[in-house]
Structure 1
Amino acid sequence: MTVTLNHTIVPAHEKGSAADWFARVLGLEYEPSSDGHFAPVHVNAALTFLFSDDETFPASHYAFHVSDAEFDAILERVRASGRPYGSAPWSRDDKKLNDWNGGRGVYFETPDGHLLELMTAPQ
C-alpha cells in the first residue's frame, strides 16, 4: 500500500479568509463547506487543506513542488498581494529566489504567519 497524505488541518484566525487567500494565491478553488466546521481547499486530487478557526497556534511550514509555469503564476500573485517573499526561511523578505537542487524556490508567509515554500525541483 502506498501511504498518501489525504488532508491536514491548518489553523487560522479566520478560516474563511485564510482559505480564500491561500486558494487565490495558489490558483486553487475555495468553496465554503456546508457543515461550516472547516474551510476546505483541495490542493490536488489527493490532498485537502482544512482551515480551522483557532485563537493561538504555532506557525507551520508547507512546501509545494510546482511546475515552472505554476511557479511563475503563483509568484506573480504573491507579489500582487503585497506579501514579502524571499530566497530562504531566514531570508523571507529579500525579494530573491533560490536555485537549490537545480530549480527555483521561494518562501513567503500567509497572513496568519504560516511559511509557504514553492520549489520547481523537489528536494
Structure 2
Amino acid sequence: MSEPRKSSVQLNHTIVATTNHRISAQFWADVLGLEIGAEWGPFIQVNTDNGVGLDFAAVPPGEEVHPQHYAFLVTDDVFDAGFALLKEWRVPYWGDPRKSTPGEINTNDGGRGVYFEDPDGHYMEMITVPYGGWKQ
C-alpha cells in the first residue's frame, strides 16, 4: 500500500437524484435548518455549514431514483427542530439503520440519532455526536 499524499482533500459537492428537485431540496433544507441556493442549470443547491453542496437534480422521465444514505452531524438545536418537523409531518423514523426500532431515536455514544426517508426514499440520518469517536 502506498503512503498517503500530504494534501488536503475535502468533499465539495454531491448530486442527489430526485423525482422533483424542488420538493426534495425544500424537505432537506427544512429538516436540516439550511437555506436553498439559487437554481443553476438542472440543479438546486443546498449548502451545509462545512461547505459541502448538495446538488438536487431530477432524474429524466422514466428513470428511477436509486436511494442512497446521507448522514448529517447536527447540533442539538438542529436535531430538535428537524425531529419536531418529522413528527409534525408524520414522517416515519427509526433509531437504527435496519428499521427495527420504529418511532424511536438512539443515544449512541452519548448523543442522539434518528433515521428517516426523504420523499424519494433516500435514507437520511441526523446524529448529534459522531459514532465511535470517528473524526469530524
Q: Same fold (TM over 0.5)?
A: yes
Q: Is 1:48 matched up with 2:15?
A: no
Give the distance between the partners of 1:2 and 1:81, measured in 2 at CA: 40
How far residue 121 of structure 1 moved from its aligned partner, in angstroms, is 1.1
5+ unaligned residues in a row in structure 2: which ranges?
A: 1-6, 132-136
Q: Does 1:28 align with 2:34?
A: yes
Where 2:36 maps in the other structure, the secondary structure is coil
Structure ID, larger Rg: 2
Letter in 1 for 2:99: S
For each residue in 1:27-77, what CA deviation from the matched residue of structure 2 results, as whole angstroms up to 9, or x when unmatched? 1111441x3310111122411100011131211000011111211111111
Q: CA RMSD in A?
A: 1.5
Maintained 8 Å contact 2:65/2:120: no
For normalisation by structure 1, the TM-score amounts to 0.91
**TM-score normalised to structure 2 length:** 0.83
- Quote the residue 1:19 is aligned against: 25
Q: Unmatched 5+ residue regions in structure 1?
A: none
State the identity as a percent. 39
CA contact (8 A) 2:95 2:103 kept: yes
Q: Is the 8 A contact 2:37 2:47 kept in 1?
A: no
Which residue of structure 1 lines up, in the alignment, with residue 122 of structure 2? 114
Detail structure 1 runs of 4+ shifted over 6 Å in the superposition: none
